Amino acid sequence: MLYLIGLGLGDEKDISLRGLEAVKRCENVYLEAYTSILLVEKSKLEALYGREVIVADREMVEQGVESILEQAKTMEVAFLVVGDPFGATTHSDLQMRAKQLGVTVKVIHNASIMNAIGACGLQLYRFGETISIPFFTDTWRPDSFYDKIKKNRDMGLHTLCLLDIRVKEPCFEALARGKKVYEPPRYMSVNTAVEQLLDIEDRRKEGVYGRETTAVGVARIGTDSQCIISGTLEELLTVDYGPPLHSLVVPGELHVMEQELLATFACNESTPRIQKDLIIDEEDEEP
Amino acid sequence: MLYLIGLGLGDEKDISLRGLEAVKRCENVYLEAYTSILLVEKSKLEALYGREVIVADREMVEQGVESILEQAKTMEVAFLVVGDPFGATTHSDLQMRAKQLGVTVKVIHNASIMNAIGACGLQLYRFGETISIPFFTDTWRPDSFYDKIKKNRDMGLHTLCLLDIRVKEPCFEALARGKKVYEPPRYMSVNTAVEQLLDIEDRRKEGVYGRETTAVGVARIGTDSQCIISGTLEELLTVDYGPPLHSLVVPGELHVMEQELLATFACNESTPRIQKDLIIDEEDEEP
């Protein structure tokens, strides 16, 4: 039996009673740690579960998943996922491979950014396609998501922008010297996302949005330190949202109640701001 | 302090540890019971919480919410919501009224149909606008959601269809006789939803979908008895999905992995079917 268990958005206390019962029954417990990050130490999970928690990084899941599935044929195995198990394509894939091997899969759902984003005051049913914004590099500045924002906005729909997470990425310079070294983890900030979006608009000039467009920057949704700030893209550039994870919403048409709710999160004098010269560096911020 | 606490999708064990801690701290505990239904007895919640649970029906929330907010000015009050607190517009409204009265609101998220629908094998980020399908009456057969399905499908996006729930609706015949009597609760089945969708296509004839279009009928997602069946709309008409709550997905373009996952849920000889003459009556089925 393979349990896919959502941990929710914050710390060890966001697991459901059902999830906790299951994980306590399992002989082996894996924690998926590359499509999202847990905002709590692994040791706290272990103390709560009374079980060792094995961190499953990208390599392990991509190369070693067969051994996890093999175990699940005869044992109860838990695969813990931050948020909900179906927030990332990987876990649908894992479920399918389990089914193919005749392993029973039981999913225990939880909150994920895909529904908790409702906390920002925009109605969930009025969101269109969700996009992912990857870190630009010197030579790679993709903009296909610009078209998706355009289509959503043409339909009056909101766009949830999931921001890039780079965990345990191999360092190519070190690889070239024959060493396996990993880059420090990087989590895209709302600031970087907005910069990149404005960069694309400057290139494409199709007027999908601009510096005066209202948007919502959010961080650590569902936790005690959650941060929700609405303002123009220009304003959102200057805000200090604090530690990861960050997400951004580019709204479509706003209904009256949505306007009123967004206004309660409006950027103002008491909003924490970042120093301008930090904006350039925050891509390297650590968790 | 007002806690808006998501209960998740199944029974009393789907609350998070964080949510349970909060509800145990609260002096008054309300359960919202008209935008969704709990699949478990209220007494089980009360046994788990060690608290009386007051059922807040539509009338109470629409007319009596001020008294709940008044309590929350000086006490810890819990407002429990099936799924996630932001699944329904009502709760955003409640949050805003609380803010206006200076009541601190703390939200404890949970799974809702909006993210748990990922269990059907379709990727969440590829869903477009969510629609709601209301019960047709003899004189009222709205079809504005047909245009939304069209737009989503034109963009290759999936459409989650939330199906009508009628709880504690006043009986107009009785009202006319001066009595306040309520209609029995009604929960739209996938079968009725598909019938209504096909009825609209027959009228509108814009070829947005047809009897051969692949779709997915789901029931009781996130519970032990969850049912996920993929098939043509024609096939889905014949399936017995069991008790509420039901939802329907009309997919857009299917990626390879989505096709493979949907295939694992395909309607076949072992799928439970309903008797044809029951199809007409299932609108009246009881919870």
pLDDT at A9: 93
Q: How confident is the model at residue A278 (pLDDT cuts 50, 70, 90)?
A: low
Task: Choose among A168, A113, A114, A163: nearest CA to A134.
Answer: A163
What pairing do the DSSP bridges indicate for beta strands B246-250 and B214-219? Answer: antiparallel
Task: Choose among A145, A148, A123, A124: nearest CA to A134.
Answer: A145
CA distance B142 to B219: 24
List the single residue in B with minimal CA-CA distance to A257: B93
In this structure, chain B runs to a length of 287
- For B187, phi then psi, to 5°, come to -125, 125
Taking the Cβ of residue B110 and every Cβ of chain A, the question of whether any pair is shorter than 8 Å is answered with: yes
User: In this model, does residue B287 exceed pLDDT 60?
Assistant: no
CA distance B63 to B85: 19
Q: What is the pLDDT of residues B76-135, one digit of tens each?
A: 999 999 999 987 777 888 888 898 899 999 999 999 999 999 999 999 999 999 999 999
Tell me the residue type at A35.
T
pLDDT at B177: 81
Residues of B whose CB is below 8 A from A115:
84, 86-87, 109, 111-112, 114-115
Q: DSSP class of residue A141?
A: -
pLDDT at B205: 97
The answer to whether the CB atoms of B124 and A131 lie below 8 A apart is: no
Domain ranges of chain A: 2-111, 114-284
Q: What is the mean pLDDT of residues B184-210?
A: 96
More confident residue, A253 or A184: A253
Largest pairwise CA distance in chain B:
59
pLDDT at A133: 97
The answer to whether the CB atoms of A125 and B131 lie below 8 A apart is: yes
**H-assigned helices in chain A:** 17-25, 42-49, 58-74, 89-100, 113-116, 144-154, 172-176, 190-204, 233-236, 256-263, 276-279
CA distance B47 to B58: 25
Q: What is the mean pLDDT of residues B127-155?
A: 96
pLDDT at A211: 98
Residues of B whose CB is below 8 A from A86:
115-116, 118-119, 124
**What is the torsion angle, in degrees rounded to the nearest 10, for the CA atoms of residue B52, residue B58, residue B59 and residue B65?**
70
Assigned architecture for domain B2-111: 3-Layer(aba) Sandwich (3.40)
User: Looking at the DSSP assignment, which residues form a beta bridge with residue A131?
Assistant: A161
ipTM of the complex model = 0.90
In this structure, chain A runs to a length of 287
Alpha carbons within 13 angstroms on the beta-carbon side of residue A236 total: 33
Sign of CA dihedral A8, A10, A12, A14: negative
Q: Which CATH fold would you assign to the domain A114-284?
A: 3.30.950
Chain centre distance of CA B275: 25
Q: What is the pLDDT of residues B234-246, one digit of tens each?
A: 999 999 999 999 9
Alpha carbons within 13 angstroms on the beta-carbon side of residue B151 total: 18
CA distance B61 to B67: 10
The answer to whether the CB atoms of A107 and B222 lie below 8 A apart is: yes
User: In this model, does residue B232 exceed pLDDT 90?
Assistant: yes
User: In this model, does residue B45 exceed pLDDT 90?
Assistant: yes
Q: What is the pLDDT of residues B246-286, one digit of tens each?
A: 999 999 999 999 999 999 999 999 999 998 655 544 444 44
pLDDT at B58: 77
CA distance B202 to A17: 47
Structure tokens given for A69: 């599935």
CA–CA min distance B228, chain A (Å): 13
Find out whether B158 is annotated in a ligand binding site. Answer: no
User: Looking at the DSSP assignment, which residues form a beta bridge with residue A160?
Assistant: A249
Tell me the residue type at A75.
M
Taking the Cβ of residue A126 and every Cβ of chain B, the question of whether any pair is shorter than 8 Å is answered with: yes
Q: How confident is the model at residue A287 (pLDDT cuts 50, 70, 90)?
A: very low
CA–CA min distance A13, chain B (Å): 5
Q: What is the mean pLDDT of residues B153-169?
A: 92
Taking the Cβ of residue B97 and every Cβ of chain A, the question of whether any pair is shorter than 8 Å is answered with: no
Residues of A whose CB is below 8 A from B111:
6, 84, 109-112, 115
User: In this model, does residue B225 exceed pLDDT 60?
Assistant: yes
pLDDT at B169: 76
Find out whether A9 is annotated in a ligand binding site. Answer: yes
User: In this model, does residue B44 exceed pLDDT 80?
Assistant: yes
Q: What is the mean pLDDT of residues B213-242?
A: 96
User: In this model, does residue A191 exceed pLDDT 60?
Assistant: yes
In the predicted model, what is the mean pLDDT of chain B?
A: 91
Chain A 166-195, residues with CB within 8 Å of chain B CB atoms: none
The answer to whether the CB atoms of A107 and B123 lie below 8 A apart is: no
**H-assigned helices in A89-227:** 89-100, 113-116, 144-154, 172-176, 190-204
pLDDT at A277: 54
Nearest CB to B129 within list A13, A128, A260: A128
User: In this model, does residue B215 exceed pLDDT 50?
Assistant: yes
Task: Choose among A210, A216, A219: nearest CA to A243.
Answer: A219
Tell me the residue type at A62.
E
Give percent of chain A above pLDDT 90.
Answer: 74
User: Looking at the DSSP assignment, which residues form a beta bridge with residue B8?
Assistant: B83
Kindly report each contact of residues B197-206 with a partner whose C-beta sits within 8 Å and lies 24 or more positions away, as own/partner. B197/B133, B197/B146, B197/B149, B197/B161, B197/B233, B197/B248, B197/B250, B198/B233, B199/B136, B199/B141, B200/B141, B200/B143, B200/B146, B201/B146, B203/B143, B204/B143, B204/B146, B206/B146, B206/B150
For A151-163, b/e burial (b = at least 16 CB within 10 A) is bbbebebbbbbbb
The answer to whether the CB atoms of B115 and A114 lie below 8 A apart is: yes
Taking the Cβ of residue B145 and every Cβ of chain A, the question of whether any pair is shorter than 8 Å is answered with: no
